[in-house]
Amino acid sequence: MATIVLFHHVQGLTPGVQQMAAELRAAGHTVHALDLYAGKLPKDFDAGMRMAGKMTEDKIQERVDKLFAKLPEELVYIGTSWGAALAQQCAQQRPGAVAAVLLESFVDLEAEWSFGPWPEGVPVQIHGMDQDPFFAKEGDLEAAQRFARNEDAGLAELFTYPGDKHLFTDSSLRSHDPEARALVMERIIKFLERYV
């Protein structure tokens, strides 16, 4: 079973993110859901974007490092949207990454502001809606498709779902898509069974 670090999206450590952590724990994993907002829950996505924008990289790093000081090096990183970018950065830059699951976001490895190359042998699963204005319309999906095609040994899996909702995997938000989320969770749990 894996030790997982779960990064929330811009609306914080919502009940939906906590439910995801609970489901992963029920599957036998140890999950550390990092709260970068120290308990604050923005009222909507725009407020969350403003809160995320006010957080300096140093503050984020400080909170991340505080958690990681207590954890083993071998970790699985999972994140949603803004949190997926943080999870991806950890998977690419911290030693000992076991696997990563990136929900509703993917940072192009070929962009000049990328996190560097993908670490050899680290499997990754990417999920997003095919008409999501952020994931599909701002280049993440195209970059993820290119990455999944080129990644050696089939270690990169990309799944798209019909729809245009962002944060559809958070069961506590109006954007939640129950059917798609259930399939995401089923695929994540099978992915973890296969690789960790």
Residues spanned by the domain of 127: 3-195
Q: The CATH number of the domain where 65 resides is what?
A: 3.40.50.1820
pTM for this model (two decimals) = 0.95
Looking at per-residue confidence, does 153 or 50 come out higher? 50
Q: Is the pLDDT of residue 160 over 80?
A: yes
The whole-angstrom separation of Cα 167 and Cα 177 is 9
How many structural domains is the chain composed of? 1
The tens digit of pLDDT for each residue in 52-99 reads: 888 878 788 888 888 888 899 999 999 999 999 999 999 999 999 999
Please report the DSSP string for 36-93 in residue order. Answer: TTTT---SSHHHHHHHHHHS-HHHHHHHHHHHHTTS-S-EEEEEETHHHHHHHHHHHH
Amino acid at 42: P
Tell me: pLDDT of 153 over 60: no
